[in-house]
């Protein structure tokens, strides 16, 4: 199937490499308003460059459009792609507001095209093994969980582009960095019921938060603590998820949540535990999550089924982040069923930004 990439910044490189690695995939077009950013894809993939997205979308040979632009521009671009009958793969987060998210989901459903959201951490070997542990009920009843992302993103990272660190188009550490881990937490723990959060902008000269701490009560009754920051000196310190159950304790951790730091399970033999730890250690990254998601989209189209990570799945993580933001703003706990998405953006602002900065 033929792919097009919209937005040729850093993350587009992962998409293009994943497409290159898949036998049944070909990158045929790229779109960006900065021609020099498209040149590497023209040279390596023989992709046709476009500075006008609608001109690109009129290319009937394109099957799937990968949206790799700033988060605040995802909605208008996904809607356009769907309008032209293209299947859509959108980078995380799916959008910055629930209104935008629902527009994307609605547009793809109305045009009967597939929608997949890029949450690649689900495909890491340790993350998948922890999911198996939970599905097999090896932890028993869950007491609580810890979700930690203590990373370094210097001021130079935010100064790369004017949209970075803004509330409207990028978000802070929760929406941009920790959303991967929040997606995993929801995948493991189920639906949240209530949240409380505090946040601050301590070190970075940005509009959004660079440090956040929150608490979640899930519908199951289990609790979780979330700690996220981009203020750690001098490099990434920890990315981890720990789950405590009545029959076990499991922690996947390290600087990038790639290894089992703890795997204690009442109903798993010591030998099997050691084997599992060693298997993950021997190949901690596994196959690229982007490659898994793109290959799954191809199969989903051929089999006429839902992709592995749907728009609705992507929506859950955005809703949780927005609930944290609302709680921090109001300085009180927020029930998920009662919250107000006060961060919704005005459509004209999205369109104006999209036309100015990205295809």
Residue 212: which H helix or E strand, with range?
Answer: strand 211-218
Residues 193 and 108 in one domain: no
* CATH number where 257 lies: 3.30.360.10
Q: From edge to edge, which strands make up the β-sheet containing 223-229? A: 259-265, 248-253, 238-245, 142-150, 223-229, 211-218, 192-200, 334-335
The structure tokens 């706990």 sit at: 333
Instruction: Specify the pLDDT at position 117.
Output: 98
Domain count, the chain: 2
Q: pLDDT class for 115, splitting at 50, 70, 90? A: very high
Helices 125-135, 179-189: inter-axial angle, 10-degree rounding: 20
Residues 161 and 29 in one domain: no
- Count of H-run helices and E-run strands, the chain: 13, 14
Residues 88 and 130 in one domain: no
Tell me: pLDDT of 232 over 50. yes
Give the residue with greater pLDDT, 346 vs 131.
131
In a domain, 102, yes or no: yes
Collect all residues with Cβ–Cβ distance below 8 Å to 136 and sequence separation of at least 6.
none
Tell me: pLDDT of 179 over 80. yes
In a domain, 85, yes or no: yes
Residues 92 and 78 in one domain: yes
Instruction: Specify the pLDDT at position 340.
Output: 62
Overall average pLDDT of the 145-151 stretch: 98
> Cα dist. 84→43, 80, 81, 244 in Å?
27, 6, 5, 47
pLDDT tens digit sequence for 258-307 = 999 999 999 999 999 999 999 999 999 999 999 999 999 999 999 999 99
Tokens at 353, concatenated: 């930004």
The reported pTM is 0.93
- Strands (E) in 87-186, as ranges, are 87-91, 115-118, 142-150
Tell me: pLDDT of 183 over 70. yes
In a domain, 321, yes or no: no
Overall average pLDDT of the 124-144 stretch: 98
Among positive and negative, which fits the CA dihedral 336, 339, 340, 341? negative
pLDDT tens digit sequence for 296-355 = 999 999 999 999 999 999 999 999 999 999 999 999 999 998 766 644 444 443 344 333
Residues 156 and 281 in one domain: yes
Nearest to 90 by CA among 303, 314, 289, 345: 314
Tell me: pLDDT of 255 over 90. yes
Tell me: pLDDT of 221 over 90. yes
In a domain, 149, yes or no: yes
Instruction: Specify the pLDDT at position 349.
Output: 39
- Strands (E) in 83-122, as ranges, are 87-91, 115-118
Residues 180 and 296 in one domain: no
In a domain, 331, yes or no: no
Distance CA 241, CA 252 (A): 6
93, 170 in Cβ contact below 8 A? no
Instruction: Specify the pLDDT at position 128.
Output: 98
Instruction: Specify the pLDDT at position 338.
Output: 79
Residues 176 and 198 in one domain: yes
Collect all residues with Cβ–Cβ distance below 8 Å to 331 and sequence separation of at least 6.
198
Give the domain range for residue 29.
2-120+290-308+341-357
Residues 69 and 142 in one domain: no
Distance CA 330, CA 198 (A): 10
pLDDT tens digit sequence for 4-62 = 999 999 999 999 999 999 999 999 999 999 999 999 999 999 999 999 999 999 999 99
Q: pLDDT class for 168, splitting at 50, 70, 90? A: very high
Residues 162 and 266 in one domain: yes
Instruction: Specify the pLDDT at position 341.
Output: 60
């Amino acid at each position: 199937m033929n792919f097009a990439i919209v937005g040729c910044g850093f993350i587009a490189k992962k998409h293009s490499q994943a497409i290159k690695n898949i036998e049944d995939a070909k990158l045929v077009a790229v779109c960006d308003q900065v021609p020099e950013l498209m040149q590497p894809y023209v040279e390596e993939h023989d992709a046709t460059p476009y500075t006008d997205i609608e001109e690109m979308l009129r290319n009937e040979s394109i099957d799937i459009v990968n949206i790799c632009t700033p988060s605040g521009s995802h909605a208008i671009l996904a809607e356009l792609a769907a309008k032209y009958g293209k299947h859509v793969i959108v980078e995380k987060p799916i959008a910055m507001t629930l209104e935008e998210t629902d527009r994307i989901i609605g547009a793809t459903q109305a045009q009967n095209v597939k929608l997949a959201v890029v949450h690649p951490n689900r495909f890491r070997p340790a993350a998948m093994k922890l999911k198996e542990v939970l599905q097999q009920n090896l932890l028993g009843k869950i007491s609580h969980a810890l979700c930690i992302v203590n990373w370094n993103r210097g001021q130079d990272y935010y100064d790369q582009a004017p949209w970075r660190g803004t509330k409207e188009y990028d978000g802070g550490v929760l929406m941009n960095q920790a959303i991967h881990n929040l997606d995993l937490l929801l995948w493991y723990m189920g639906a949240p019921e209530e949240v409380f959060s505090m946040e601050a902008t301590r070190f970075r000269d940005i509009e959004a938060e660079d440090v956040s701490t929150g608490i979640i009560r899930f519908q199951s009754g289990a609790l979780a603590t979330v700690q996220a920051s981009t203020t750690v000196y001098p490099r990434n310190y920890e990315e981890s998820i720990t789950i405590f159950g009545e029959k076990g304790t499991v922690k996947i951790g390290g600087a990038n949540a790639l290894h089992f730091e703890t795997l204690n399970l009442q109903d798993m033999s010591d030998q099997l535990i050691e084997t599992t730890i060693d298997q993950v250690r021997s190949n901690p990254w596994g196959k690229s999550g982007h490659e898994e998601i793109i290959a799954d989209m191809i199969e989903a189209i051929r089999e006429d089924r839902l992709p592995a990570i749907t728009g609705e799945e992507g929506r859950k993580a955005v809703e949780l982040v927005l609930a944290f933001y609302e709680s921090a703003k109001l300085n009180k706990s927020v029930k998920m069923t009662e919250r107000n998405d006060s961060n919704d953006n005005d459509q004209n602002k999205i369109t104006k930004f999209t036309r100015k900065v990205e295809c």
